[in-house]
Amino acid sequence: MVDLIGLHKHFLLEHIGEGDVAVDFTMGNGNDTLFLSKTVGENGKVYAFDIQEEALASTSEHLAREGAPTNYTLICASHHRVKEFVNEPIKAGIFNLGYLPRAGKKSVTTMRETTMPAVKAALELLAPDGVLIVAIYPGHEEGALEGEMLREYFGTLSRFRICASEFRILNSPTSPYFFLLEKSAKAHFGEI
């Protein structure tokens, strides 16, 4: 069976390594933050965003427990404000849209109004040969709408600068799926 998380890591590892800069745009419980931290190592940097203090506390504990390098900055702010905190090219970014797992607050979700500017900012920050993963959770209404909105937007991007792909399980329409955006090595920083 297809392991979507395994695919995320496969694609990320094709683009990032020791010393790179990465962003976890939706920190949650810190699993992606941990993966990025260990992948970019002591000389790399990871910025992680979430609007819930609970997510920062959970992630901080998780990173300490798992022995992550101290190369991360946890930011309690919406991901659409990324450019207020990150002003350097990033080699990788991850979005897991939806709500904080195991928090019981399923009413607090990512929203189209902030997701679109966050994704556009992420693409502008993406370094040449960088990668962006955007995971969609269509099992709730806002998640389905975010997916439709992003599919439409990604379809308008120049294929000479950004390769936009979609990975989903066709016979399970409410299962999570993801978009993979790979920036051409010939594209320029700041260019979408």
Flag whether 104 is in a domain. yes
pLDDT of res. 44: 98
Flag whether 47 is in a domain. yes
Residues 51-80 pLDDT 10s? 889 889 999 999 999 999 999 999 999 999
> Is the model's pLDDT at 127 over the cut of 60?
yes
Beta strands, E only, 5-143:
21-24, 45-50, 72-76, 90-96, 126-136
Flag whether 64 is in a domain. yes
Domain range for 100 is 4-183
Determine the average pLDDT of the residues in 141-160.
Answer: 88
Flag whether 192 is in a domain. no
CATH of the domain at 123: 3.40.50.150
Flag whether 188 is in a domain. no
Regarding pTM above 0.95, the answer is no
Tokens, residue 105: 């607050």
Flag whether 116 is in a domain. yes
Flag whether 85 is in a domain. yes
User: Predicted confidence band at 164 (pLDDT cuts at 50, 70, 90)?
Assistant: very high
* 97 class by beta-carbon count within 10 Å (0-12 exposed, 13-18 middle, 19+ buried): buried
Find how far residue 185's CA is from the centre of its chain.
20
Residues 5-27 pLDDT 10s? 788 899 999 999 999 999 999 99
Number of domains in the chain: 1
Flag whether 190 is in a domain. no
